[in-house]
Chains A and B, each alone.
Chain A
């Protein structure tokens, strides 16, 4: 079969469609009215909501940390107050880093335009899918600070059994989880089972598939793959 024959088959398909395919004009009209309703990209909306929630959270944490610092300045900086200020401050700082990452994602979403050439647009979309992993990685660093903010030194001096049996193991677990997630949320672990369980849910487009597609884009762009 020659190339021209392939084109002839395709043209025959065209002719068939010309005779049998009708466009539902009412449906197009209905789609035209959808434009005003769907101005905002749903992903952009989701990121904007996360940024807003992050700002409120940072504002709240900042306020309580600031209030504790002022109180400490006037009275005294007890160890528990220091733990509280440092922990909330760290949670706020890590949240700010995630907010910055989300704002970058939003600007990437703005840049994505379906009128761009196919390779460029698909590459941007896929990079966006993968960059959400970075935000998750940074956020994992917060974990231990959610355990340390309410620490009291008298638990040690008072010989509190619950401190050694519950608090310390939970803290150790959170530190381990945090370090482990930070080191392991990476494209090199994309094929692993735990990774798929965490990130292959309906809310995430599979990073494994995104990475594979990114490789396909790269190969497609190459002159002689």
Chain B
């Protein structure tokens, strides 16, 4: 593949690095597993980049692959192998969050999401990423009305979890 294609791929990954990181965090608790999964997602994205169908939005294509790889990875973690053993795909710089409550809430929300079944987890990530019901339906392969029903139900669960902790 030529340099321009390689660079445009890097640009897409750069644009969506946050979502890849969040998906890895939602499907793996262990740091090493997260690194393995992140590398596997980027590898699978790169593998299918050549056949990318421009009819789909970049985000739809990326979410489908990232979530599929994450769910499959989650289900067979014991067989995972790291692609590039000495490197780390993500580097998290030291960052002081001025709003400690925000930071705490992020941690709680992430924890609640991690406790959901794999498919509900995917649905909730897409909902929180503010994807339309139509796009969520397209990524997951269920009907739009089903997305609406399920999102309502999971949201209710999350709200209850937050309320149980208190303000």
Which residues of A are in contact with B by a Cβ distance under 8 Å? 1-3, 6-7, 9-10, 12-14, 16-32, 34-35, 38, 113-122, 125, 202, 205, 209, 213, 216-217, 220-224
Contacts and interface: CB of A to CB of B under 8 A. Distances in A.
Interface in B10-30: 10, 13-14, 17-18, 21-22
Interface string B45-64: 01110010100000001001
B139 A118 contact: yes
B37 interface: no
Given A24-B89, A26-B87, A216-B119, A6 B158 contact: yes
A221 B147 CA distance: 10
A12 B142 contact: no
B100 to A, nearest CB: 12
Contacts, number: 170
B132 interface: no
20 contacts: A12-B99, A14-B18, A17-B22, A21-B17, A22-B90, A22-B92, A23-B89, A28-B13, A32-B6, A115-B65, A118-B119, A118-B140, A122-B72, A122-B119, A125-B72, A202-B79, A216-B118, A217-B119, A222-B146, A223-B149
Nearest to A33: B84
Contacts of B89: 23-24, 27-28, 31
A interface majority secondary structure:
helix
Contacts of B97: 16
Interface string B95-128: 1010100110110011000000111101000001
A217 to B, nearest CB: 7
A16 B17 CA distance: 13
Given A7-B128, A115-B65, A21 B106 contact: no
A125 B13 CA distance: 26
A22 B93 CA distance: 7
